[in-house]
């Protein structure tokens, strides 16, 4: 059974950093592109970033709203995807979802809440 | 960036009725890489349709997707009580991946 479990969310002050983790199981993690999405309270879905598998160069893409502040990475040996979030802003407050990005995003984690507030 | 516009914003229907949701793209979606998701309150989105018309694993056949290029449709042939939710379209053919603003299907 495919499972994705996010962790690392919480309350953080503007300008500080936070690292989210997505622990995957039930599939060959290294074969898949992994992605992060977010959803601000009461709002729609927003794509944040994805990282391709090593077979496709492990390259990364970012939404304009986070480019230069967030860094996505992966550790295939641990089957974990990370999202390092720096210089956080109040508008980054959202539930962050990790997904397996296959045929769209076929599996989603339950999400982790990040609240950026002073 | 491809802008996706969903209509209507809200659809008020009764169980057993047919729902037709639209998603229009500002430019052609590469390889028809268009997905539909269902989201219920407090839950993560669930993939319903990918590649514009292919049902994801375990999705009932009352859900169907159609369209190509810039115009896409999600049809729910007969609404079940569990189908009342918010539906999003997403294009994943070109970066940045983008979503429509969502269509809420509510009980009339």
Q: Which helix (H) or strand (E) holds A88?
A: none
Query: CB-based burial of residue B21 (10 Å sphere; 0-12 exposed, 13-18 middle, 19+ buried)?
Result: buried
pLDDT in tens, A63-95: 999 999 999 999 999 999 999 999 999 999 999
Judged by a CB distance cut-off of 8 A, whether residue A70 touches chain B is no
Average pLDDT over residues B85-104: 97
Average pLDDT, chain B: 97
Minimal Cβ distance to B47: which of A44, A97, A106: A106
Q: Do A45 and B88 touch (CB under 8 A)?
A: yes
Residues of A in contact with B95 (CB under 8 A): 61
Judged by a CB distance cut-off of 8 A, whether residue B99 touches chain A is yes
pLDDT of residue A29: 98
pLDDT of residue B69: 96
Beta bridge pairs of residue A90: none
Name the residue of chain A whose CA is nearest to B36's CA: A104
Tokens of B19: 């729902």
pLDDT of residue A27: 98
Judged by a CB distance cut-off of 8 A, whether residue B93 touches chain A is no
Q: How confident is the model at residue B93 (pLDDT cuts 50, 70, 90)?
A: very high
């Amino acid at each position: 059974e495919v499972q994705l479990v996010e962790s690392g969310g919480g309350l953080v002050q503007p300008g500080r950093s936070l690292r989210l983790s997505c622990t995957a199981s039930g599939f060959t993690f290294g074969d898949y592109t992994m992605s992060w999405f977010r959803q601000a309270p009461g709002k729609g879905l927003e794509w944040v970033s994805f990282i391709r598998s090593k077979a496709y160069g492990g390259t990364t893409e970012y939404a304009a709203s986070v480019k230069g502040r967030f860094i996505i990475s992966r550790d295939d040996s641990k089957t974990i995807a990370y999202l390092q979030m720096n210089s956080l802003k109040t508008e980054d407050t959202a539930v962050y979802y990790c997904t397996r990005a296959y045929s769209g995003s076929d599996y989603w984690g339950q999400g982790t809440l990040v609240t950026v507030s002073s | 960036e491809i802008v996706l516009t969903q209509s209507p914003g809200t659809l008020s229907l009764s169980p057993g009725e047919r729902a037709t949701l639209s998603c229009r793209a500002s430019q052609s979606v590469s390889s028809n890489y268009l997905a539909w998701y269902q989201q219920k309150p407090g839950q993560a989105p669930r993939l319903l349709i990918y590649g514009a018309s292919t049902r994801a694993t375990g999705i009932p056949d009352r859900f169907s997707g159609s369209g190509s290029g810039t115009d896409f449709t999600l049809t729910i042939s007969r609404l079940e009580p569990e189908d009342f939710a918010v539906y999003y379209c997403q294009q994943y053919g070109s970066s940045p991946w983008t979503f429509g603003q969502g269509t809420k299907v509510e009980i009339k």
